[in-house]
Chains A and B, each alone.
Chain A
């Protein structure tokens, strides 16, 4: 009996040590590119240094298909995931994400309670904590545009005033909202109108007026290239992509904020994630005042008001948060309802010559 004791002690030690070891590693997944690099620099690396937790930081291309596959197969490999709010509603309602306790979030650096410090949209879902504001805008090349400069969303659809190709991402989201806004629908009525048969027709009719001038692309990264090589005159993309092209590559691009459709990204935890606790600690850190302000590197707006004093003055006006009044908040509930049916109509419209 006595001889067994060291073995028992070792076993007990091993059992105690295993969860501790497991806590030391976790997987975080985001969109990569310049945005991923900013997250690595301001969120992932400082957290690894501070907590000793090792983070495997991976890329994905958005959408809920991969999460659904992991959760339904019972083989969850991701812990923390950066999700666009437009996908969040659906992932949350399908039980793919853990419910997060927002009251556990730390106060802002200036002492403001988390509930007041975050913009309300950032804590809008029980499954996520907002990390950035980003916006879909369009831009032109100030060297080649000529004397008249576009200023409103209606100009994007005005081929007489601004002849030339337009480039848009190949999906109904944002494009249909733009069509309605350009057609004179007030911002707060866009989604009500788009829910009706006539409203949808109206949006497609407006898009049809520029159909012959449209160039389509599949990912935001293609957009600045199209504008740079003259593939299109007016190009749609995420504001951060244009900002990176302007700042890092010195491109003479000018963004138009009128009619921007803004949205948030959130950090969320996959349901049944193996390192749930570590992931929550990471999210609490990543969405605190200073790490959030680091997202200015790619011109995405922080979701906490207390982060704004860390943002440089000349960057501040390039952030979507400075242009929320000119923009429309993307409606995740609407797109959960109509994403599929409008996607089909959109495909049909594209196929029709």
Chain B
């Protein structure tokens, strides 16, 4: 085939194609390309709309937040000349009073309050109360006495720290959410320092990665021998075992997680069995712990490890091992130097799948994890649904994406991504 092709190619170069022939050939090629492209278009559009656009807007949101700038434009202009250390002068206070009155009338003061409150707890009531008070004041009075009204309303209005929080929140583009996501903040002079109020997120990222790693290792330890056994069992038994592996895989995720609740709870199957056997006298605290998350997720993600391993192992000719042994290798040595390297594509595919899925896992830790077993995605959901801090949620999510990309890069450098084989 190769030789025939080469001689044919040589022959055609001798006779140049006519203009028409080139044209038809080119047209035909273009038509085929167009047809191929048309087949891919739906997928491309879907990916663009359902995947790239949301991720892009999330990344954008984590750094761009114009809410405050749109709400109090006058005050922010007046604040430009402020030194940041003393009480702002009367122009600033008057501008703020005017802005607050407008916000009170359009009932938007709460949005400003919520934004400032994120960096200055307690600001919410100060801003809302001031806005309520200014609602009935007319514009002329604000110009003359607005500043005094504010200063008299609450001592926070003369606190430079409060005004610094307002000025910072007024920036359209900010890296503050990323700083918070890394447990950092800026001090009065703008230098980055460790966050005083709370240290959560770095610890949580570490815990999430640690749990994902534990789950991956457990999946390898449980899945590798099983896949090996399946690959070498007679077809009937292998099929039966395959069904047993796949059956839970087909069952709804929620059902499987709830089943673990029934198994692990204080007076659940596990504890009552152990107690009736007399092995323990007090029930173990199993549910709502980190271990519960790890156990349930290992069970749920195990098929992702077994399937690629099995398909790779099925393709390995058993004669390699026999050859190694007949040449004098011990079983362990033959396994480590012949069999294991040949299963690497399946092993790395399975490990990577399990690890990446578990890093972003949400539902199982939320249901069985209690407080100890929560992962970073649960905090992201918390900020999306309860604290309404979508910007921080976006920053946390972007960092998670970055961590995964970095790990993938590391993996590519160490093992080689081209090595992966899914089946």
A351 at the interface (CB under 8 A from B): yes
A309 at the interface (CB under 8 A from B): no
Q: Mark A217-241, 1 if CB is under 8 A from B, else 0.
A: 0000000000001110000000000
Indicate if the CB atoms of B113 and A93 lie closer than 8 Å.
yes
Contact of A348 among B117, B199, B387 (CB under 8 A): B199
Known: A95-B111, A216-B370. A337 touches B200 (CB 8 A): no
Indicate if the CB atoms of A338 and B114 lie closer than 8 Å.
no
B237 at the interface (CB under 8 A from A): no
Indicate if the CB atoms of A333 and B200 lie closer than 8 Å.
no
Rounded to whole Å, the gap between the CB of A95 and the closest CB of chain B is 4
Q: Report the bound CA distance from A338 to B198 in whole Å.
A: 13
Indicate if the CB atoms of B198 and A95 lie closer than 8 Å.
no
Indicate if the CB atoms of B114 and A348 lie closer than 8 Å.
no
Indicate if the CB atoms of A94 and B111 lie closer than 8 Å.
yes
B322 at the interface (CB under 8 A from A): no
Q: Report the bound CA distance from A191 to B176 in whole Å.
A: 29
A215 at the interface (CB under 8 A from B): yes
Indicate if the CB atoms of A347 and B379 lie closer than 8 Å.
yes
Indicate if the CB atoms of B389 and A344 lie closer than 8 Å.
no
Q: Mark B144-170, 1 if CB is under 8 A from A, else 0.
A: 000000000000000000000000000
- Chain A residues within an 8 Å CB radius of B117: 336-337, 340
A25 at the interface (CB under 8 A from B): no
Q: Report the bound CA distance from A64 to B118 in whole Å.
A: 17
Contact of B109 among A93, A342, A350 (CB under 8 A): A93
Q: Report the bound CA distance from A158 to B367 in whole Å.
A: 29
Known: A347-B200, A351-B200, A351-B204. A341 touches B121 (CB 8 A): yes
**Centre residue among A63, A89, A93, A347 by max chain B CB count within 10 A:** A93
Q: Mark B180-208, 1 if CB is under 8 A from A, else 0.
A: 00000000000000000111100110010
B263 at the interface (CB under 8 A from A): no
Chain A residue total in the interface (Cβ 8 A): 35
Q: Report the bound CA distance from A351 to B111 in whole Å.
A: 30
- Chain A residues within an 8 Å CB radius of B204: 351
Q: Mark A163-207, 1 if CB is under 8 A from B, else 0.
A: 000000010000000000000000000000001000000000000
B interface residues with partner A (beta carbon < 8 Å)? 106-111, 113-114, 117-118, 121-125, 128, 131, 197-200, 203-204, 207, 265-267, 288, 370-372, 379, 384-389
20 chain-A/chain-B pairs, Cβ below 8 angstroms: A65-B386, A65-B388, A68-B388, A90-B114, A90-B124, A93-B107, A93-B110, A93-B113, A93-B128, A94-B114, A195-B122, A333-B125, A336-B117, A337-B121, A338-B122, A342-B121, A347-B200, A348-B200, A351-B200, A351-B207
Can you add 14 more A-B contacts, CB < 8 Å, to A347-B198, A348-B199, A351-B207?
A: A90-B114, A93-B107, A93-B124, A94-B114, A216-B371, A230-B266, A333-B125, A334-B125, A337-B117, A340-B389, A341-B197, A344-B200, A345-B197, A348-B200
